[in-house]
Amino acid sequence: METAHDQIMAEIKLRLRNISARNGYFNSVKSLKRAMLTPFKGYDLPAVNFWSTGMLNADEGKYKKDDRNLTVMIEMHTKTWEPGAPFDSVAAKMAADIVTAINRSPNAPKVSDDLSPKLGGIVLQCKFDRYDNTIGEGQSPWVGVLVTFLVRFLADNHDMFNFK
C-alpha cells in the first residue's frame, strides 16, 4: 500500500517527465531521479532530482481532518548552453520549466496547456515557495537551481495512507 506521501511524489515525477522542448519548455530533461545522492554526470544533463524534506501536521481542521504540509525540493542541473549567458538567467529558465511542469497535468503537459495546480485533485494546493541558484566551475561548468514547493493536503487523523 502506498502512503499519501508516495502518491504525491509519484504525481510529481509524472509531471517532471514532461519537461521537453517538444512541449514548449526551455530544456529537455535527459535524467530524472528521486532522492538520489549520486551527483549528475555530464552526459545526463539536463537532469532533475527531487525529494521531500519532511511533513508538518497542522492542528485539526473544522472537518476533523489533519491539515498536512509536505515540503518538496526539486533540483535541476545543466551545462551552460548559451555562451556568455549569465548563470542566473540560465537558472531562471530551469526554475520556470520546473514550476510550469508541476502546474501541468501529465495528460496536458505543454507550456500552453491549462493549469492543474492541485496535482490532479489529490492535494489542496501545490505552492511554489522559492528557488536558489547553484553553479559549478572548472573543466565542466554547470548551472543548477533548487526549487522548493509546499504541498498541502487533508488526511484522516493519524492516517498516513489516505487523503481526505
Is pTM beyond 0.75? Reply is yes
Give the type of residue at 28: S
pLDDT value at residue 164: 63
pLDDT value at residue 60: 64
pLDDT value at residue 61: 61
Per-residue pLDDT of the chain (164 residues; tens, 9 = 90+): 788 899 999 999 999 999 999 999 999 999 999 999 887 777 788 999 999 999 988 766 666 788 889 999 999 999 866 677 888 999 999 999 999 999 999 999 999 999 999 999 999 999 999 999 998 877 677 899 999 999 999 888 777 777 66
Residue-range domains of the chain with CATH:
4-156 (3.30.70.1700)
SS3 readout for the chain? CCCHHHHHHHHHHHHHCCCCHHHCCCCCCCEEEECCCCCCCHHHCCEEEEEEEEEEEEEECCCCEEEEEEEEEEEEEECCCCCCCCHHHHHHHHHHHHHHHHCCCCCCCCCCCCCCCCHHHCCCEEEEEEEEEEEECCCCCEEEEEEEEEEEEEEECCCCCCEC
- Crossing angle of the two packed helices 87-102 and 4-16, in degrees rounded to 10: 120
pLDDT value at residue 122: 92
pLDDT value at residue 156: 81
